[in-house]
Structure 1
Amino acid sequence: MEVKKIENKCPFTEAMELLSGKWTLSIVNTLMTGTMRFNELERAVTGINTRMLARELKALEANGVVYRTAYATVPPTVEYALTEKGRSLGPVIQVIQGWAVT
């Protein structure tokens, strides 16, 4: 599987490509609460399967939205958190949530 890295394009096009995944905003919104382990995130994002979560997280990490920290434990522990770029999506998500409610 190849993770698609966004190339230099029109800023609007880049943003739309970054946010266009079915699960992208749900994952970012869930991570707004703080750092989460993979399994916690999988349980929190209702309806997503393991493979799709892993794929979306890799894409978000490649685009600088999510930061991944792996710990050398048995079994391996992996945590995900939003980068500054990811946290900057907070107001956008709030507007979308407000729009959805109305």
Structure 2
Amino acid sequence: MSEPNHQDCMTHSAEEIKHICTNFHKAIEFIGKRWMGTVIYTLMEGPKRYHEIISSIPGISDRLLTERLRDLENEGLIVKNVITTSPKKVEYELTPTGKELDEVIHVLMKWVKKRGESL
């Protein structure tokens, strides 16, 4: 299946465009929540326990990290794996859908680095 081009977009009805714009806006708002992109970026390296995530994101609070992990889990972008050892361990891992954000996150990181301090 080929990537849509500008001409393809011209053939969409106003209703289709509205639907696409609404979904795009929701996706940007979700990823744009405070610390969300950083949490996703941290999990790109592989499964992590809570303390590993919080220690790799300076400035994020326990409450906010817990909220972001819950948001990601509710959207099906991460899974919470409970390892039944003594004591039990919990790891967070990106799902295949969550891993699809890899290119998006890395392109954004590249763009941010290129712009430097100008944001």
Give the aligned partner of residue 10 of structure 2.
none
Q: Structure 1 or 2: larger helix share?
A: 2
Superposed CA deviations along residues 20-57 of structure 1, whole A, max 9, x for unmatched, are: 21110000000000000011111011111111111110
Give the aligned partner of residue 30 of structure 2.
18
Q: Say which of 68, 77, 83 aligns to 2:95.
A: 83
Using the size of structure 1 for normalisation, the TM-score is 0.83
% identity of equivalent residues = 33
Q: CA deviation at 1:88?
A: 0.6
Task: Mark the runs of 5 or more structure 1 residues left unpaired by the alignment.
Answer: 1-7
Query: Comparing 39-48 with 73-82, which one deviates more in the overlay?
Result: 73-82
Q: CA deviation at 1:68?
A: 0.6
CA distance in 1, matches of 2:39, 2:79: 13
Q: Cα RMSD between the aligned structures? A: 1.8
Using the size of structure 2 for normalisation, the TM-score is 0.72
* 3-state SS in 1 of match to 2:82: strand
CA distance in 1, matches of 2:33, 2:82: 24
Q: Which has the larger radius of gyration?
A: 2
Q: Say which of 60, 83, 94 aligns to 1:48.
A: 60
Which aligned pairs between 1:59-98 and structure 2 lie closer than 5 A? 59-98=71-110
CA distance in 1, matches of 2:85, 2:63: 22
